[in-house]
Structure 1
Amino acid sequence: MNALATVPAPLSVDELRKIDAWWRAANYLNIGQIYLCANPLLKEKLTVEHIKPRLLGHWGTSPGLNLIYVHLNRLIKKYDLNTIYMAGPGHGGPALIANVWLEGSYTEFYPEITGNETGMLRLFRQFSTPGGVPSHVSVQTPGSIHEGGELGYVLVHAFGAVMDNPDLLVAAVVGDGESETGPLAGSWKSIDFINPTRDGAVLPILHLNGYKISGPTVWARHSDADLAKFFEGQGYQSYFVEGDVPEIVHQEFASTLETAVSSIRTIQKQARERGSSVRPLWPMIILRTPKGWTGPKIVDGLQVEGTFRAHQVPVSEVLTKPEHLKILEDWMRSYRPEELFDDGGRFRPEYADLAPAGPRRMGSNPHANGGLLTVPLTLPDFNRYEVKFEQRARDKVGSTAVLGQYIRDIYESNPDNFRLFCPDETNSNRLGAVFEVSDRCLVSDILPGDDHVSHDGRVMEVLSEHCCHGWLEGYTLTGRHGLFATYEAFAMIVDSMSMQHGKWLEHAKGVPWRADVPSLNYLLTSTCWRNDHNGFSHQGPGFIDTVIHRKPTVARVYLPADANCLLSVADHCLRSVNYLNLIVIDKQPQLQWLTMEEAKVHCAKGASVWDMYSNQPEEPDVVLACAGDVPTQEVIAAAWMLRQQAPDLKVRVVNVVDLMRLCPADRHPHGMTDADFVDIFTATAPVIFAFHGYPGVIHDLLHGREAHDRFHVRGYLEEGTTTTPFDMVVLNKMSRLHLCLDVLRYVPGMLVKHGRLVAGCTELLEEHDRYIREHFDDLPEIKDWAWSE
């Protein structure tokens, strides 16, 4: 079925000739990248000396990617489109590199890869070789903001890129193998959050070539009728192109693509002139072409083109089988390179002229180097939101609720430059103040009973961590700012996405032409220490482990203990670039420990002694350290107990808000020098460390310090389910009572000297266990505890 079968051929004979020439040139360059280390223009008969010793790369998807690229060029020129190209197929790198070189962008970014025979050879030699470029679209590829090395995210990245970007069109090519992934399957709903009056548009192109690496793909075995029904239900008008005769496919794809682009322009024009009250029926294209199209049809008696055998290197034994070398040479010469390139290896001007000019070239579009377009946030003075108190650590305040007021005012001051992304949890995470200035976004039916939902809303809520994270990636990589807030346990769903984005940021630092981009900021709430009703499923602080193992150039982890620290940290993160900033703090009301001035000094240091909660801290017998809101509460409560019942014990309280400060200075830019470390933790005193996450994280960060053996870490031990707040710390042996017992255990002579305190802690633990089972709540002396001198 072809929805455009009756549309007249849009290409003149000359246009068709030139477009086909560009396509053949891109295909030729693809093959050269996979196979050749010499003789790039085949001026000599091909020999094994011209072949790379290791044949790496993927051919199967490339002809379709090249076809799409050249046809987009035609419409960019015709309609002056502002377009970037995202290649979802995992190893489409050689296709994008080939096209960007043909249009001239590659040479501008990499002057040594000249637009002639010498540059072509360098282009070939760098592909999938040491010190070169990978086989997937990567940070080194001009025009890319989508890392092709992990499947499933091309659509969410594309939709994030067009939010608040009204003139941008993203052509998002979805591989049929990629379309089987869970994240991609959930990404089609993204059009329900795109408002054509203020956002750009994504044109999904589902490229069905039939096979994955060795098996058939699901969608390719569905009929056009079934696919049309499915995507209509998702909100798309599907257009189909299918074939293997280049002249026919060129004409049909040209018609289809122009119809789709015209449909998008009409949708946007009508919405911007008359307003938008219903979700549009957005176009998408389903392109069926053979896998490895135009490649060898038969190798060693087996069909290759149109099968899984074309996925990677379709002729793999060219170094050892003369007949394979002959197949390769015939294949490359079938593109008639002498017609495409002059004697010097330059792409002939009549074909090169198909490329748009300057920044309209997809390899040079500034949206694909979003730091060039970044406008710093207009941030309110966070001091305005200070939590003030007459007596410290007496009253409980919801720290994230205070942050919500700050985010509300960021929204108001940055109407098209900041968004909050949250899986249906904005109110739950106590950030609901944002709804005073912006609604939830939904470009669909709005019902009378809906709460703060509108087509114009810019708070992004969808019950998919993949979508939220992917949207934010696309948003920041095109130069805007945002925050991803979610429950702590479910951040692990995007563990791999975070890792991939971190790798992008890491590699971008080594690419001189890549401009700085806003950091990707995480706020994790509903933490493992509060499971009043959620149960064991909602316990999981492991995302900290994910982030600390990213390269030191990008990894930042912050554990503010109260609202004033949270405000200081958030302001810092939102001003930063090129980082993964992880902020972890619970949403429940908490005791507030520091004034704003104290918080700013403390957060600037990242870790410091809290004299106000210490007992004779100058030369302590023991250091009680903490990182995280609940650990801070338990440490200070333990320090208070020791002050009351063991006043002779010299206790120093240390709080760590910037977790990376624990690293040695030679392992992380935020790491403390040995001298600073000793100033805080002493050189000899035992350190009892209460930590928000898994204890091994602290030992990992301390690796390399001589003080490592002095640290005794309490943290989350995978214990607890639906229970009281204090029972969670008891079950994980991080309660104030356990910390007191640890102090007495590790300070010589204290167990004997303070036997009554040992007995008191043990008895209180037993009483706690009985009380919560009878009263379903914590002991009053625990629940209502507050600091007192």
Structure 2
Amino acid sequence: MAVTATNAPDTTTRSDLELLDAWWRAANYLSVGQIYLMDNPLLREPLRPEHVKPRLLGHWGTTPGLTFLWAHLNRVITREEQDALYITGPGHGGPGVVATAWLEGTYSERYSQVPQDAEGMQELFRQFSFPGGIPSHAAPETPGSIHEGGELGYSLMHAAGAAFDNPDLLVACVIGDGEAETGPLAASWQQNKFLHPVHDGTVLPILHLNGYKIANSTVLARIPDDELLDQMRGHGYRPYLLEGGFDGEDPMAVHERMAAVMDEIVAEIARIRARAAEQLAAGEDVQRPRWPALVLRTPKGWTGPKEVDGHRVEGTFRSHQVPLAETRTNEAHRAQLEQWLRTYRPEELFDADGRPHAELLALAPRGPKRMSATPHANGGELLRDLRLPDFTRHAVDVPEPGSGPASATGTLGAWLADVVRANPDNFRIMGPDETASNRLQAVFEATDRQFIGHIQSGDDHVSRAGRVLEVLSEHLCQGWLEGYLLTGRHGLFNCYEAFIHIVDSMFNQHAKWLTATRHIPWRRPIASLNYLLSSHVWRQDHNGFSHQDPGFIDHVVNKKAEIVRVYLPPDANTLLSTYDHCLRTRNYVNVVVAGKNPGPQWLTMDEAIAHCTRGIGVWPWASNDDGAEPDVVLACAGDVPTLEAVAAVSLLRRHLPELKVRLVNVVDLMRLQDEREHPHGLSDRDFDGLFTTDKPVIFAYHGYPWLIHRLTYRRRNHPNIHVRGYKEEGTTTTPFDMVMLNDLDRFHLVMDVIDRVPGLAVKHAALRQHMVDERLRCRRYTREHGTDAPDVADWVWPDSTGPRM
């Protein structure tokens, strides 16, 4: 909320509240109609079976609370001229947010086939949870939504992500009491220690206690009020409790109390922000405030049927979904539905043509101030391109292949520091306390970690304002970044590779959101969700088996090809080129896996740019097929597999100089897929040109081997592709012992060539035996000395293999 908010004394009269109540009744009427009706939207005649949908889908229980909050927020928005975003945590509140968008006129602006009249109302009702219609959640199709809520737990972190760097924005986040039982939501209460009271917007958490989930009570609704409020105070909030609607209480009395509470909350927010601005202007330390939080307790299914078939419904779990489940076939249920709808007095709300009365329309804010029309919920409207500095200025000098060593992520960190400097208000880096561990610490030359809690002397690069957000919760990092991107900004999430799995389900939801928005014309493209996964499976020297899992890639490629991209740059220059590309893209999920440990550098910057542009290619300097058809192809994807593949080529050229070997490196993993399956896929002609149609292909891959087979199963030469990768063999050991455990080492790759190239197995049995002995020697050395054998640890690509091509 802007510091300049007027917060004028409330002049709300009884008639104002009656009008607000009418608006709420209209929203509820429209919500019930969406669940049940496909005809007769204004009840111009008694309900007949054909007026009711044959399949009743959707959820009523949480909806009246959501529309109640929307109505009261509109009152504040109009008075304060406030920019506001409404996040619907309860996933099943779709009817309510669709209804409010239609009442505000936004829905008809977005969907001309659903005008604000009787015909449009009928279409609004018919399309809801109907084949060819719209989903039952606050989906991408819903104006004003950035949070579908189909999976619970992420509303409050999305709210904070939206508020970062949005100082004039109020984010009202409704948290269902069922959602409040999830781990991610429990962690989200801590994010008030990261939101700056001047530079960032305000998040107003609204815990909506209606007592029940699908079939069971909720925890927070069944603990004493003092315990609940103490819990919220312990999280650093100033809670306000409002309850109403029970035992047939007059809704007008609840409206009156709610208006008073909202006025107090708005005034408190303005005082907090004004005081923080004064502290900042005076050069004082900006103290962490106790932000307001609202606890709203209302009956589940409020204003719905009190009883159905002798069972209490309002205020119980029975109102969660469809309180009257047989209205098409059960005359008594149908009559009760009609009675329910008429309690909202639609004749007072809509004119003869089905349009909301003018005084109702006048209650909504104007233009982009409407929560259903705010550009913050359609972030592409606000998106500005990043100013990306020239990454080539950070190029690692590579006079010969295998030069170095250098840290890929360490090199990237210096460029990211430049990105931060060039984009001080629309780019953030999120990570679970791993920015420095992943060797990105150069960014701290340009910024700090943002933290609004207590800062002690000796804390490293921690201040009130910073572009790096670190909290030891992958859920929060993911949710913050999603909220930040969905409201029109840019960023990246760096994480240990094994633990990015914690957000598998969140990634699912975001990828599905992006897929849906591609087919919604008014949804503008947003910046891509960029992952940087380091501390990866092959270099977990200290942590061992628990930290070894490259399977996030497998999970990602399950999603639509139009959305996902996976990159495995083999060195620092290719990582720079890759990430420059990723930060320029829109509506993708980009997964980049790169090592942090110093390693050999293979390509000059010009070569790296060309290689990354192709996404896949032959490395001529490592190959000796010299324009002829190779006898074998060694392929590699990932930094450690590339090192082992190049080392295997060196062994083959030394021991089998007559063997024609081609080395193919893959940066863009999706190039392996068929062009008919993925936009980045190679044509069959190009794939066959690289990998041949009938020669053995030994593929050293970063992750689980079967993914390469899955991507290439339609290729002509697939039967000859043999993949080495992670086989779920791990421990705390040396880097080379780790690759030996999984048979990805150079010696085993040479053995694979001998086994699979016709004529070599018998002819070069002694060489194969020597490779087995070398593995035993290296294993024995690690057990005796605790390190890898020097000839392996210090190995470099021989410069006697010829000039760079």
Give the structure-1-normalised TM-score.
0.98
Pair 1:786-2:787 in alignment: no
Question: Within 5 Å, which residues of 2 pair with 1:111-130?
Answer: 111-130=112-131
Partners of 1:268 and 1:278 in 2: CA distance: 11
Structure 2: tracts of 5 or more residues without a match:
1-8, 801-805
Query: What does residue 6 of structure 2 align with?
Result: none
The Cα of 1:268 is off from its aligned counterpart by 1.5
**After TM superposition, where is structure 1 displaced by more than 4 Å over at least 4 residues in a row?**
none
Query: For residues 371-386 of structure 1, what are the structure 2 equivalents within 5 Å?
Result: 371-386=380-395
Structure 1 residues 1-34: Cα deviation after superposition (integer angstroms, max 9, x where no partner): xxxxxxx996311111110001001111111000
Q: CA deviation at 1:391?
A: 2.5
Distance 2:715 2:267 in 1: 63
Q: Any conservation in 2 of the 1:10–1:255 contact (CA below 8 Å)? A: no
Check the 8 A contact 1:617/1:651 in 2, yes or no. Answer: no
1:322 to 2:331 alignment = yes
Amino acid at match of 2:211: G
Task: Confirm or deny: 8 A CA contact 1:9 1:251 kept in the other structure.
Answer: no
1:653 is the counterpart of 2:653: no
Q: Deviations over 1:273-323 (max 9, x none)?
A: 332521100001000000000100111111000000000000111122211
Are residues 1:770 and 2:787 paired?
no
Paired residues for 1:484-633 under 5 Å: 484-618=493-627, 619-633=629-643
Per-residue CA shift, 1:189-242, capped at 9, x if unaligned?
111100112000110100000000000000001222111111111110000110
Q: Letter of the aligned partner of 2:337 in structure 1? A: L
Which segments of 5 or more consecutive residues in structure 1 lack a partner in the other structure? 1-7
Q: Secondary structure at the match of 1:171?
A: strand
User: Residue 19 in 1 paired to residue 20 in 2?
Assistant: yes
1:661-704 deviation per Cα after TM superposition (whole angstroms, max 9, x unaligned): 00101000000011111121112211100110011111111132
Contact 2:140 2:516 in 1 (8 A): yes
CA offsets, 1:327-379, max 9 Å, x none?
Answer: 11100001000000011110001111100000101111001100010111111
Offset from partner CA, 1:620-659 (integer Å, 9 cap, x none): 0000000000100000000000001110110000000000
Matching residue of 1:259: 264
Q: Please say if 1:212 is aligned against 2:222.
A: no
Give 1:289-328 correspondences, 5 Å limit: 289-328=298-337
Q: TM-score, normalised by structure 2?
A: 0.96
Give the alignment of 1:404-419 within 5 angstroms. 404-419=413-428
Q: Verify the 8 A CA contact 2:739 2:745 in the aligned structure 1.
A: yes
- Is contact 1:10–1:254 with CA below 8 Å preserved after alignment? no
* Match 2:737 to one of 722, 727, 731: 727
Matched residue SS, 1:339: helix
Q: How many residues align?
A: 782
Q: Alignment RMSD, CA only?
A: 1.0
SS at match of 1:460: strand
Q: Distance in 2 between matches of 1:787 and 1:654?
A: 16
Q: Which amino acid aligns with 1:442?
A: F
Alignment partner of 1:739 is 2:744: no
Instruction: Indicate conservation of the 8 Å contact 1:10/1:251, yes or no.
Output: no
The one-letter code sitting in structure 2 at the alignment partner of 1:178 is: E
Q: Hey, what does 1:269 align to over in structure 2? A: 274
Task: Kindly provide the amino acid, as one letter, of the partner of residue 93 in structure 1.
Answer: G
- Aligned 8 A contact 1:768 1:778 in 2: yes
Q: Distance in 2 between matches of 1:539 and 1:560?
A: 19
Partner of 1:452: 461
Per the alignment, in what secondary structure is the counterpart of residue 516 of structure 2?
Answer: helix
- 1:498 maps to amino acid: F
Q: Does 1:465 align with 2:474?
A: yes
- 1: CA distance between counterparts of 2:151 and 2:676? 31
SS of the equivalent of 2:429 reads: strand
Match for residue 254 of structure 2?
A: 249
Query: Which residue number in structure 2 is paired with residue 230 of structure 1?
Result: 231
| CA distance in structure 2 between the partners assigned to 1:378 and 1:47 by the alignment | 61
Percent of aligned positions that are identical: 57
Counterpart AA for 1:88: G
- Partner secondary structure for residue 713 of structure 1: strand
| Paired residue type of 2:392 | N
CA distance in 2, matches of 1:721, 1:295: 59
Shift of 1:535: 1.4
Contact 2:158 2:480 in 1 (8 A): yes
Aligned residue in 2 for 1:61: 62
Residue 650 of structure 2 is matched in structure 1 by 640
Cα distance, 1:187 vs structure 2: 0.5
- Asked if structure 1 preserves the Cα contact closer than 8 Å seen for 2:156 and 2:173, the reply is yes
Separation (CA, whole Å) in 1 of partners of 2:396 and 2:458: 34
Counterpart AA for 1:459: V
Question: Matched residues in 2 for 1:176 and 1:518: separation?
Answer: 32
- Given that 2:164 and 2:195 are in contact with CA atoms closer than 8 Å, whether structure 1 keeps it comes out as yes
The whole-number CA distance in structure 1 between the counterparts of 2:310 and 2:12 is 38
Amino acid at match of 2:720: R
Which secondary structure state, in structure 2, belongs to the residue aligned with residue 241 of structure 1? Answer: strand
Aligned partner of residue 395 in structure 1, secondary structure: strand
1:60–1:291: 8 Å Cα contact kept in structure 2? yes
Aligned counterparts of 2:630 and 2:264: Cα–Cα separation in 1: 76
- Relative to 1, partners in 2 of residues 1:237 and 1:315: Cα closer, same or farther, differing over 3 Å? same
How far the C-alpha of 1:756 sits from its partner, in A, is 2.5
Question: What is the CA–CA distance in structure 1 between the aligned matches of 2:341 and 2:307, rounded to whole Å?
Answer: 15
Structure 1 counterpart of 2:4: none
For residues 419-468 of structure 1, give each alpha carbon's deviation from its aligned partner in whole angstroms, at most 9, with x where no partner exists: 10010011100000011111111101110111111111221000000000
Note if contact 1:172-1:205 (Cα within 8 Å) is conserved in structure 2. yes
Shift in CA distance, 617/177, structure 1 to aligned 2, threshold 3 Å: farther
2:5 counterpart residue number: none
Could you say what secondary structure the match of 2:714 adopts?
Answer: coil
Query: 1:768, CA displacement in angstroms?
Result: 1.5
What secondary structure does 2:403 align onto? coil
Instruction: Identify the residue that residue 82 of structure 1 maps to in structure 2.
Output: 83
The answer as to whether partners of 1:34 and 1:56 remain within 8 angstroms in 2 is yes
Match of 2:136 in 1: 135
Q: Secondary structure at the match of 1:706?
A: coil
1:70-219 equivalence runs, <5 A: 70-219=71-220
